[in-house]
Amino acid sequence: MSLYRNRQFWVTAGLGAVFTVAVYSDLLRGQVPVGDEFQLVFFAIQQILFLTVVSLATFRFGLNIGFTFWAILGALTIPYAIMFLTTNWHPYLLLEMVIIGLIGLAAVGLINGYEQGKQKLLEYQHTLEDKVRDRTQDLSEANRALEKDIIKRKKVEAELREALAEVKALSGLLPICANCKQIRDDKGYWSSVEKYISTHSEAEFTHGICPDCLTKLYPSYYGPDGKKKTRDKAEQSPSDN
Residue 168 placed within a domain:
no
Q: Are residues 125 and 10 in the same domain?
A: yes
- pLDDT tens, residue by residue, 113-146: 888 888 888 888 888 888 899 899 999 989 999 9
According to the model, what pLDDT value does residue 151 have? 92
Q: Are residues 10 and 127 in the same domain?
A: yes
CA 2 to chain centre: 38
Q: Are residues 108 and 215 in the same domain?
A: no
| Higher-confidence position of 227 and 187 | 187
According to the model, what pLDDT value does residue 230 have? 65
According to the model, what pLDDT value does residue 110 have? 86
Give the structural domain span for 221: 211-240
Residue 13 placed within a domain:
yes
- pLDDT tens, residue by residue, 85-120: 777 766 766 777 788 888 888 888 888 888 888 888
CA distance 132 to 220: 88
Q: How many CB atoms lie within 10 A of CB 67?
A: 18
Residue 189 placed within a domain:
no
| Higher-confidence position of 20 and 42 | 20
According to the model, what pLDDT value does residue 56 have? 87
Q: What is the pTM of this model?
A: 0.44
Out of 89, 110, 137, a domain closes at 137
Can you tell me whether residue 225 is helix, strand or coil? Answer: coil
Residue 92 placed within a domain:
yes
Note the residue count of the chain: 241
Mean pLDDT of the chain: 79
According to the model, what pLDDT value does residue 234 have? 47
Out of 101, 120, 137, a domain closes at 137
| Higher-confidence position of 150 and 23 | 150
Q: Are residues 228 and 123 in the same domain?
A: no
CA 73 to chain centre: 50
Q: Are residues 222 and 122 in the same domain?
A: no
| Higher-confidence position of 185 and 226 | 185
Q: Are residues 235 and 132 in the same domain?
A: no
Out of 112, 137, 162, a domain closes at 137
Q: How far apart are the first and last CA of the chain?
A: 128
Q: Are residues 22 and 109 in the same domain?
A: yes
According to the model, what pLDDT value does residue 116 have? 82
Please compute the mean of the pLDDT values over residues 174-186 and round it to a whole number. Answer: 80
Residues 6+ apart with CB under 8 A from 22: 42, 45, 46, 49
- Count: domains in the chain: 2
Residue 142 placed within a domain:
no
Residue 217 placed within a domain:
yes
- pLDDT tens, residue by residue, 40-94: 677 778 888 888 888 888 888 888 888 888 988 888 888 887 877 777 766 766 7
Q: Are residues 32 and 128 in the same domain?
A: yes
According to the model, what pLDDT value does residue 241 have? 43
Q: Are residues 115 and 216 in the same domain?
A: no
182 burial level (CB within 10 Å; 0-12, 13-18, 19+): middle
Q: Are residues 132 and 224 in the same domain?
A: no
| Higher-confidence position of 235 and 181 | 181
CA 198 to chain centre: 54
**Per-residue pLDDT at 16 exceeds 70:** yes
Q: Are residues 112 and 22 in the same domain?
A: yes
Please compute the mean of the pLDDT values over residues 7-27 and round it to a whole number. Answer: 84
Residue 179 placed within a domain:
no
3-state secondary structure the chain: CCHHHCHHHHHHHHHHHHHHHHHCHHHHCCCCCCCCHHHHHHHHHHHHHHHHHHHHHHHHHCHHHHHHHHHHHHHHHHHHHHHHHHHCCCHHHHHHHHHHHHHHHHHHHHHHHHHHHHHHHHHHHHHHHHHHHHHHHHHHHHHHHHHHHHHHHHHHHHHHHHHHHHHHHCCCCCCECCCCCCEECCCCCEECHHHHHHHHCCCCCCCCCCHHHHHHHCCCCECCCCCECCHHHHHHHHHHC
Residue 158 placed within a domain:
no
